[in-house]
Structures are given as C-alpha cells and as structure tokens.
Amino acid sequence: MSINNITYLHDIIPSEMFIFTKNQIEVLDKFDWLEVRHFLNTLESNTFYVITFEFIPSMIMRDEHGPFLLLDKPIIITKNSNHYMISKYLRERIEIMIDTYYLDDSILQADASVIVKYSKINLF
C-alpha cells in the first residue's frame, strides 16, 4: 500500500461484500484537491480508513429516498494519502459515471456533491 496509489479494499482483504457500521460522513461540494486535503487533515494519524464515494446530483434530494450513484469500490486511505491523487481519482470516476450513463454535464450543477462515507479499519 502506498500513499501515492489508490488501494482498493478488496486488494487487501479479498471479498465480494463488505458491511461497515458507524460510518462517518463528509460532504465534498467541489471535489477539488483543497477540499480533499482538508478532509484528510481531519483524520487521525497512523490510522487506516476505508472510504466510499457517492455522487449526489442535488443536496436538496439528499435523504433516504433521493438517488445517488456509488462511484467505485471501497478504497483505503490514511491521513498521509496524496490529496492531489485522490481528487484526480474522484474527478475521473465522475467523468466515467457521466460517460457510462450518458448523463449531461449539467449534472455537475452547483448543488451536486460527493458524499464520503468512511470508517476506521484495522488492517494489521
């Protein structure tokens, strides 16, 4: 595992299904490297986290009935992860989502957000 590469949880723990409880949530409105860096700075040192990214087209609809798209499989991060790399990864996932589902670029409207769900994980 490296701070400069994306590490998927299934690369460390081979499984098809993971269930996490006690998730914490962070909302990213711009999904840029500054916002990712701020998020990483809130994490504890020497701790691994498993995270998922959910794209929400409108924060107005963010409730248990509103639509969202899971952008990829769970990944592992630490406080020292590369914020530029995570931001680039997130933007690439959003571009793939738009292309795959033939969505209009207007889906990235002003109130679109990415919900980061994260939990501490003990890997070693």
Give tens-digit pLDDT for 70-105. 999 999 999 999 999 999 999 999 999 999 999 888
Rounded-to-integer distance, Cα 39 and Cα 34, Å = 9
Rounded-to-integer distance, Cα 71 and Cα 97, Å = 7
**Residue 65 vs residue 109, higher pLDDT:** 109
pLDDT at 66: 73
- pTM of model > 0.75: yes
Give tens-digit pLDDT for 6-39. 988 888 888 766 666 678 999 998 889 999 999 9
Secondary structure, 3-state, the chain: CCCCCCEEHHHHCCCCCCCCCCCEEEEECCCCHHHHHHHHHCCCCCCEEEEEEEEECCHHHCCCCCCCEECCCCEEECCCCCHHHHHHHHHHHHHHHHHHCCCCHHHHCCCCEEEEEEEEECCC
Q: Do residues 12 and 77 make contact, with C-beta atoms less than 8 angstroms apart?
A: no
Rounded-to-integer distance, Cα 59 and Cα 55, Å = 10
